[in-house]
A and B are shown apart, each in its own frame.
Chain A
Amino acid sequence: MITKAARIDRRSFIIGTATVGGGLALGLNLPLGGSVVRAQDGSPEITAWVVIRPDDTVVIRVARSEMGQGTITGLAQMVAEELECDWSKVSTEYPTPGQSVARKRVWGDFSTGGSRGIRDSHQYVREGGATARVMLVQAAANAWGVPASECSAANSVITHRPSGRTTTYGKVAEAAAKLTPPAKVPLKDPKEWKLIGKPVKRLDTLPKVTGAQVYGFDLKLPGMLNAAIKDCPVFGGKVKSVEAAKVTAMPGVRHVVRVGDSAVAVVADTWWQAKTALDALPVVWDEGPNAKVSSAAIADMLKAGLDADQAFVANQNGDVKAAIAGAQKKVEAVYGYPFQNHAPMEPMNATAKYTPDRCEVWVPTQNGEAAFAATLAASGLPADKCEVYKINLGGGFGRRGAFHDYVTQAVLIAKQIPGTPVKLLWTREEDMLHGRYHPVMQCKLVGALDASNNLTGLHMRLSGQSILSVVRPEALQQGRDPLVFQGLNPGGDFAIGYTVPNLLIDHAMRNTHVPPGFWRGVNINQNAIFLECFMDELAHAAGQDPLEFRRKLMAKHPKHLAVLNAVADRAGWGKPAPPGVYRGLAQMHSFASYVAGCAEISVKDGNKVKIHRIVAATDCGYAVNPAQIERQIAGSFVYGLSALFMEECTVKDGHIEQTNFNTYDSMRIAQMPKVESIVMPSGGFWGGVGEPTICVAAPAVLNAFFAATGKRIRTVPLKNHGITLV
């Protein structure tokens, strides 16, 4: 239950930060006597997803987080499609996790990762819109004394067809909100969609070009102090001692505080003062048991897993050992994938205000409920005394979903200064040293070809980290991490696209002290390289065209094959490329979408790669906003190609060596290839968009590199091979 005092606090906050993106303005006045739930401005809520104001403007609630992927626009389209409202009058706002808990999770899951914003909530958000429409039409029919079946709604106008009378949503909203919602509402057939499938403009562009958009980094609260933090550079280490007296007299410094047992923070009037003092603060670390771990030691551990007897099996048919033993030709290769940092442009941050009676947190998060849980745990307060206000993210890519270490830190700092809001900002250096890194993985592949050069057997042995074993051990299946096998499973949302008569795909779990995390694309990034580059190796060993070799194995995988064929056709596979230009292919099933890519590259001096064009196809089942899908595809290649060419976090003396963009580079516009997107939704399922295509970037380019040079590169990043992207 939300207290009156809390409402007043929230209202004063809203007035002060009216431009906070995505809207923190949702305040609920729970029913007092009547049954109408009201938004902060008093407008009635028709369903949990829809508020209609008297001026006919529509507020659509979005539980998922906007981090650039366009989800607030796409999800609003889904609600508006069924609501039949005037799209030009739609705005969105975030419900808060505290309100969600108080209302029995009426908005469902807040988690915004795994490309699931739309694909996991399409049903209930459309129902939320449809239910509201039925109630609004019923309210109009009641007012007119006519059957609702004689009325229809379009563009926020309700028409009584026999008489031609009309009214608007804003006029009947009060009455509609008092009606009992229908138990079941039919949804439109996709063929009737008018808004879903249209490339409507994003709802959140303007404040992003004027500087008005407030990110977590930009938040200002009355009386707020600013904190800079340093956590022990070695994971698992602790603070041994701090000489706070050396900096307490520096300008603006208010507090020097311990944060848990591993970090220290300076709190000052401004963040620059806090950071300056922190830089001058003598800290001695107890680096703990991992202080000697190196990248080489980790690589050796993974290498040992490649031939270990014990491994978790994901996909198995036939007798792969016999097939390999009986092979006419055996092909073998070992691949490797490094740690990588998410490096969103906005470093980690959170703002917290704590009193013994209430703890509030303002944070850019991919999962409001997880941020809420972190707030409860760190504050020690119950759910009805905590609240989290989500702020649009300056990038997420998985870093801000399962992990809320920065929320924990902000609350632990604020607890030591009760009543004062404290904004904690990480430096880029802190962000680089304290990531939740793309897991390290090696893979040994052995393929068996028969006398006719048919692939008769394939063994893929993965060796490396399990994200779930660290993040959600309860999700392991008898110790097995099912997420490791993304893109390699016999079925589901990450199904392998090839039929091999004797197949074994297994994983030797080898965890490190460097914490792994979900990183845009997650495990399919390395799996796509392993599988799709090795398919090229097999095709080469068989003396066959890589496309034809694949096609023979894909007869039972028509959707995989369709996207592969689409990129091959568009790129002109089999026809001569321009002089000096070479092509490479890859396809995967990724977050329920079928994706393929064809890269066209040229290579100068054997090591300077120019990517001229990437043709990318996705079959995401239903395409809610094709313009945003194209942007996600193009953007995924920037992330994926940066990872392929430039990005590796190495470990020395237990800590990550790369500290900023000068040692952890990212692609620039000069290196950007032309991306041609083919959005080819085949219907009948809902696939993701934000992540799926990233995985084909690297293998398509690596296969093109082989075509151009005859060199097979099996470890990432390419900078380690002296290969640069120009």
Chain B
Amino acid sequence: MARLTINGRSIEMNVDPGMPLLWAIREQAGLTGTKYGCGIAQCGSCTVHIDGAAIRSCVMPVSAAVGKQVTTIEGLASGGVLHKVQKAWVEYEVPQCGYCQTGMIMAVAALLKDKPKPTDADIDATITNICRCGTFQQVREAIHAAAKA
């Protein structure tokens, strides 16, 4: 049994506390915007925020998120207004298949929180998500655009 706070909502779930947070988010909270891509923290598709910091939820046990604020892609927009990263993603038409993009957006939103005006080197060091469609050129443009917004 674990009680998690996801996107401001408190959810009690009857799960093994060692279960990865990703599957609690997807199958217990029913929020499927957070994706499974590898299960070993390589690809970043499962990126969510824990107390504002980007983490890869596929290897984080549920127990480690208890008592903390979990934010998923569904909770990034506030009051029906897209987050500036989401807005830039729409403006620059970043997604292709889109599967990895929710994780990418969460990683970028955390980066901009830490470094509101990231350099290319900051982006290279921080954003390590895999995108097989190859959207990186648009990702970089959109990050800089979001930083100016």
| Chain A contacts to B: CB under 8 angstroms | 67-70, 201-202, 204-215, 217-218, 220, 226, 251, 270-272, 343-347, 392-397, 425, 427-428, 627, 631, 634-639, 642, 660-662, 666-670, 672, 674-675
Contacts and interface: CB of A to CB of B under 8 A. Distances in A.
Nearest to B139: A669
B130 A662 contact: no
Top-5 shortest CB links A-B: A211-B33, A638-B134, A394-B99, A208-B98, A68-B96
Max count, chain B CB within 10 A of own CB: residue among A272, A392, A638: A272
Nearest to A634: B137
Interface in B60-80: 72-74, 77
B42 interface: yes
14 contacts: A68-B97, A207-B98, A210-B77, A211-B31, A211-B33, A343-B132, A347-B37, A397-B132, A635-B133, A637-B134, A638-B133, A661-B42, A667-B134, A669-B128
A668 B128 CA distance: 6
B128 A347 contact: no
Given A345-B131, A661-B38, A668-B128, A205 B32 contact: no
Nearest to A726: B124
Nearest to A640: B134
Contacts of A347: 36-37
Contacts of B136: 634, 638, 667-669, 672
Given A217-B35, A661-B40, A209 B105 contact: yes
B34 A211 contact: yes
A251 B43 contact: no
A670 B131 CA distance: 12
Contact of B40 (A69, A202, A634, A660): A660
B35 A210 contact: no
Nearest to A21: B98
Nearest to B90: A205
How extensive is the interface on chain B, given as a class?
35 or more
A723 B133 CA distance: 24
Contacts, number: 176
A205 B89 CA distance: 8
A395 B137 contact: no
Nearest to A628: B93
A345 to B, nearest CB: 4
A711 to B, nearest CB: 27
A272 B33 CA distance: 17
Nearest to A69: B96
Interface string B8-42: 00000000100110010011101111111111101
A271 B25 CA distance: 12
A211 B133 contact: no
B127 interface: yes
Nearest to A675: B137
A210 B98 contact: no
B90 A670 contact: no
Nearest to B36: A217
Contacts of A211: 31-34, 72-74, 102
A670 to B, nearest CB: 3
A209 B105 CA distance: 8
Contacts of A397: 132
Nearest to A668: B128
B149 interface: no
Contact of B86 (A210, A215, A217, A392): A210
Contact of A271 (B23, B72, B93, B102): B23
B97 A212 contact: no
A205 B134 contact: no
Nearest to B23: A272
Given A217-B35, A631-B138, A669-B128, 13 more contacts: A204-B98, A209-B82, A209-B102, A214-B32, A345-B37, A346-B37, A346-B97, A634-B138, A635-B96, A637-B134, A660-B42, A668-B124, A670-B128
B23 A270 contact: yes
A70 B138 CA distance: 15
Contacts of B86: 209-210
A204 B27 CA distance: 25
A714 B44 CA distance: 33
Max count, chain A CB within 10 A of own CB: residue among B38, B89, B134, B140: B134
Task: State the majority secondary structure of interface residues on A.
Answer: loop
B45 interface: yes
B6 interface: no
A208 B101 contact: yes
Contacts of A271: 23, 27
Contacts of A251: 16
B132 to A, nearest CB: 5
Contacts of A210: 33, 73-74, 77, 82, 86
B77 A635 contact: no
A218 B36 CA distance: 10
Contacts of B131: 345, 638
Interface in B106-126: 123-125
Given A205-B90, A270-B23, A271-B27, A634 B134 contact: yes
A227 to B, nearest CB: 13
A211 B38 CA distance: 18
Nearest to A199: B93
A345 B43 contact: yes
A674 B130 CA distance: 17
B33 A212 contact: yes
A70 B82 CA distance: 23
A207 B90 CA distance: 10
Nearest to B101: A208
A226 B139 CA distance: 34
Given A210-B33, A345-B43, A215 B93 contact: no
A209 B90 contact: yes
A662 B99 contact: no
Contacts of B128: 668-670
Nearest to A251: B16
Contacts of B90: 205-206, 209
B130 A661 contact: yes
Contacts of A201: 93
A393 B99 CA distance: 8
Interface string B45-61: 10000000000000000
A68 B98 contact: yes
A251 to B, nearest CB: 7
Nearest to B124: A670
B5 interface: no
B73 A394 contact: no
Contact of A345 (B26, B35, B89, B140): B35
A251 B19 CA distance: 12
Contacts of B40: 428, 660-662
Contacts of B98: 68, 204, 207-209, 213, 392, 394
Contacts of B37: 345-347, 428, 661
A170 to B, nearest CB: 28
A635 B135 contact: yes
Given A211-B102, A660-B39, A639 B93 contact: no
B95 A209 contact: yes
A598 to B, nearest CB: 17
Contacts of B77: 210
A270 B38 contact: no
Contacts of B23: 270-272
B100 interface: yes
Given A271-B23, A672-B136, A666 B102 contact: no
A206 B95 CA distance: 9
Nearest to B20: A272
A68 B27 CA distance: 26
Given A634-B134, A639-B132, A669-B136, A202 B35 contact: no
Contacts of B99: 215, 344-346, 394-395
